Amino acid sequence: MSALPLNGVVVLEFSQYLSGPSAALRLADLGARVIKIERPNTGDAGRKLAIKDLWVDDNSLLFHTINRNKESFTADLKNPEDISIIKKLIAKSDVLIHNFRPDVMGKNGLDYKTVQQINPRLIYAEISGYGKNGPWKNKPGQDLLLQSITGLAYTTGNGTNGPVPFGISIADILAGSQLVQGILGGLIRRSKTGKGALIEVSLMESLLDFQFELLTTYFANNEQPLRSKVANGQPLLSAPYGIYQTKDSYIALAMMDIHVLADTIHCGALKHFPKENAFALRDEIKTVLVEHLQTETTAYWLAALQEAGLWAMEVLNWDEMTDHPGYNALEMEQTIHAGGKTIVTTRCPIRINGQRLTADKAAPQLGEQNEKIRKELEVIS
Amino acid sequence: MSALPLNGVVVLEFSQYLSGPSAALRLADLGARVIKIERPNTGDAGRKLAIKDLWVDDNSLLFHTINRNKESFTADLKNPEDISIIKKLIAKSDVLIHNFRPDVMGKNGLDYKTVQQINPRLIYAEISGYGKNGPWKNKPGQDLLLQSITGLAYTTGNGTNGPVPFGISIADILAGSQLVQGILGGLIRRSKTGKGALIEVSLMESLLDFQFELLTTYFANNEQPLRSKVANGQPLLSAPYGIYQTKDSYIALAMMDIHVLADTIHCGALKHFPKENAFALRDEIKTVLVEHLQTETTAYWLAALQEAGLWAMEVLNWDEMTDHPGYNALEMEQTIHAGGKTIVTTRCPIRINGQRLTADKAAPQLGEQNEKIRKELEVIS
């Protein structure tokens, strides 16, 4: 491949933690030059946020994971001299990302209206928690809290449970991903109009969009989705959709005709349920399956189900997955060298012209590119 | 806003169900003209896939939700005449999306190598289940199955449960979203190089990318993430992160100092745990919290926690959320008129220059634009 899509594009990242930095990471993977603008002395609070006490250098492994392939420039946004340098930098950049609460950038004279004067071609992209209006606008934009107020915690786990959150930061990742879409759209628009744009995404709107099938159904029938009480897979889907225990482990069954399933696994009791009741009687049907599937191993059932062309798979943990040739065929891992240590992490999931997008540059030390960037500004300005 | 980013871009969607169609829906929201290429007589199998038996016309509500703002053109890909029309259409298009199994497009002479000859500027974008190599390449690319083999089902629910799937089609949505990123990147690259590109995403790589923090941690310490046995929120996070029952409902607690929490909710027993053990002793700490938080209402706890600046929110279901001014301030709903009926659905979560992106054109009837598109081809060619 001759060139990455975003070669030559300069992105300023005023962001902390996950949503903003993950958006900028994707832009870097696609070829952009990403400069983190960080507070002097401390920087992105994510630098000191360690999971399981795993550190690479002064910075946590977590920070390195999200901020590889970026540069770092420190500036005190309360200091007029620093602001004037930042404005010079903005004048030379293509994209600005921030995930601060609504009024923070404005207080420092870095709101869209102001910086648009400096650079009318700038794509100014922001992630908020709950949008910029309404009673929640100043609430903490934190992933679990957004899952909790958007109904999402009632999609997962069985109906006999209380609300169950997703075990990964879904709002951060989706909002970051949609911000990237908006930024790329803005760049395409600019190539035609010559004009920059303001791109806005919020964690809340991202989680509502994520539930679009479920919300549209709810708007139509005014009935709240109910989780199956047994082996819930998705609140709107019929039996057998879900994960079941077997004699030795677990098995996942997707959508399938319950009578074909009955024949395939020799479960006469299943035949008593009319096919058209696979949603209405899903708890009863699944209860029969729970009992029946425990009588044989996962391998036994899989052989029969896959032979019949039914959609079923084993359920793997990370040890089992990473040992499997199906995982290794993807070559999803990449290696980064940072501070004398080796970090193994995942690569960008997008391939272009058959090429896997990897980027093995380590995350920057705080202010690592201060001098370089100051020189560039002198040279260019 | 003068123009949507993708005005003038033509997208051919050879896709069914959710992942491919959701990617094309986003492109349509951003201004592209999307033409679904469908089999005569039946079309996208999603047309007949109804949830809760909700129909708009001959097509399910679900189909309308995912395929609004598109056109439909029918073609039999086994018929040489139809293929020749499709190739004419490809010659005039900018983007082609498909989510068939690896060899389907090739069998019909529509693989990337072939169509690249017809249109070297085409962005050819494909979603597979498991990539195009490896032992799983022909397995069904279905969301629950992908969740099951990538470890994801072990992130959610408590450690005392078996694997618990996410209640929304996470792999489809993420892969669709990443495909959009790749397509937009491809269009940007084309504007500089004049060349099209092959963009590939798989459901499996999308779910591995989604777990990038967790996998990087696993690669570093070789320990599989373990879910908390009590109120699990995220396998790598310390107490109190999770959702708890109160006297009258539930409450979500995000990251916070357990001693500040103890003072705020007057829970002396919490003080006995050293702060630095908030991960190692999370089950014990959470057990204390489960007991204590049941003694007062959600409103009571929230008042105290929010006063102290701690990150906590109520847990809402869809009735409660849609009644809340915080939801209504977002104006996330839009109305579509289809076949004499009104559909209320969600809009695109991205805003450009303050404008919410809505698109109220109903999903097409099967082959609705056949005549129009045939005429355009005659006129242009």
Beta bridge pairs of residue A333: A346
Chain mean position to CA B163: 21
pLDDT of residue A104: 87
Q: b/e for A82-102, b at 16 or more Cβ within 10 A?
A: bbebbbbbbeebbbbbbbbbb
pLDDT score, position B40: 96
Q: What are phi and psi of B355, to 5 degrees?
A: -90, 130
B280-303 mean pLDDT: 98
Write out pLDDT tens, residues B140-161: 999 999 999 999 999 999 999 9
Pick the catalytic residue: B29, B44, B111, B172?
Answer: B172
Q: Tell me: pLDDT of B215 over 90.
A: yes
Cross-chain CB nearest to B173 (options A210, A234, A350): A210
Share of chain B above pLDDT 70, in %: 99
Residue A58 is among the residues annotated as catalytic for this protein = no
Residue type, B207: L
String of DSSP letters for B70-121: -EEEE--TTSHHHHHHHHHHHHT-SEEEE-S-TTHHHHTT-SHHHHHHH-TT
pLDDT at A14: 96
Query: pLDDT confidence of B246, banded at 50, 70, 90?
Result: very high
**Pairing outcome for strands B95-98 and B71-74:** unpaired
**Residue B104, pLDDT score:** 87
The β-bridge relationship of strands A312-314 and B197-202 is unpaired
Amino acid at A16: Q
As a whole number, mean pLDDT of residues B86-101 equals 95
Q: Kindly determine whether residue A205 and residue B318, on different chains, have CB atoms separated by under 8 Å.
A: no
* DSSP-assigned beta bridge partners for residue B252: B243, B313
What is the ipTM, given to two decimal places?
0.96
Q: What is the rounded average pLDDT of the residues B344-355? A: 96
3-state secondary structure at position A381: coil
Q: How confident is the model at residue A2, as a pLDDT?
A: 59
Q: In which residue ranges of chain A is pLDDT below 70?
A: 1-2, 379-381
List chain B domain ranges.
10-210+350-380
- At residue B16, the pLDDT reads 86
How high is the pLDDT of residue A51? 83
Distance in angstroms (rounded) separating the CA atoms of residues B227 and B210:
17
For position A339, what pLDDT does the model report?
81
DSSP reduced 3-state for A198? strand
pLDDT at B1 > cutoff 80: no
| Distance, CA of B361 to CA of B29 (rounded, Å) | 11
Tell me whether the omega of the peptide bond preceding residue A225 falls within 30 degrees of 0, making it cis. Answer: no
How confident is residue B52, by pLDDT bands cut at 50, 70 and 90?
confident
Report the share of chain B in percent with pLDDT over 90: 92
Query: Do the chains contact at A197 and B352, CB–CB below 8 Å?
Result: yes
Contacts across the A-B interface (CB distance below 8 Å): 432
Q: Please indicate whether, in this complex, the C-beta atoms of B150 and A316 are within 8 angstroms of each other.
A: yes
The beta-carbon neighbor of B148 closest among A136, A243, A279 is A243
pLDDT at B2: 59
Q: In the Cβ-directed half-sphere of B87, how many Cα atoms lie within 13 Å? A: 17
| Rounded Cα distance, A353 and B272, in Å | 58
Residue of B nearest to A251 (CA): B148
Contacts of residue A79, defined as CB under 8 A and 6 or more positions apart, other chains included, come to none
First to last CA, chain B: 33
The pairing of strands B312-314 and B250-253 is antiparallel
pLDDT at B380: 57
Q: What is the tens place of the pLDDT at every residue in B178-204?
A: 999 999 999 999 999 999 999 999 999
Q: Answer whether B157 sits within 8 Å of A157, measured CB to CB.
A: yes
What is the CATH class of A10-210+350-380? Answer: alpha beta
The pLDDT score that the predictor gives to residue A379 is: 64
Supply the pLDDT for residue B378. Answer: 85
Q: Tell me the DSSP string of B162-190.
A: S----SS-HHHHHHHHHHHHHHHHHHHHH
A-interface mutation test, from B172, B341, B346, most A Cβ less than 10 A away? B346
The residues, ordered by sequence, that sit 6+ positions from B293 with a Cβ below 8 Å of its Cβ are: B244, B245, B246, B251, B265, B301
- The per-residue DSSP string of A118-178 comes to H-TT-EEEEEESS-SSSTTTTS---HHHHHHHSSGGGSSS-TTSS----SS-HHHHHHHHH
Say how far apart CA B207 and CA A157 lie, in whole Å. 19
